[in-house]
Amino acid sequence: MSEVAVQNAIIQELEDALSHGSAERRIRTLQRVTDLFVFGSSHFSKEHLVVFDTVFIHLITDIEQSARVSLAGRLAGIDNAPSQVIRTLAFDNEIKVAGPVLSRSERLDNVSLVENARTKSQDHLLAISRRRVLPETVTDVLVERGNRDVALSTVLNAGAKFSETGYVRLVKRSEGDDELAKAVGSRPEIPRQQFLKLLTSASLAVRVALEKSHPDFASEIRDVVAEIAGAIQARTV
pLDDT on residue 232: 43
Angle made by CA atoms 211, 214, 217, in degrees to the nearest 5? 80
With DSSP H G I counted as helix, E B as strand and the rest as coil, what are the percentages for the chain, rounded to 5? 75, 0, 25
Higher pLDDT residue, 189 or 26? 189
What would the pLDDT profile of 103-157 be if each residue is shown by its tens digit? Answer: 999 999 999 999 999 999 999 999 999 999 999 999 999 999 999 999 999 999 9
pLDDT on residue 42: 83
Q: What are phi and psi of 134, to 5 degrees?
A: -130, 115
Percentage of the chain exceeding pLDDT 70: 82
106 vs 130: CA distance, rounded Å: 13
Residues whose CB is less than 8 angstroms from the CB of residue 80 and which lie 6 or more positions away in sequence, other chains included? 41, 42, 44, 49, 107
CA dihedral 96, 98, 104, 107 (to 10 degrees): 150
pLDDT on residue 225: 61
Confidence of residue 51 (pLDDT cuts 50, 70, 90): confident
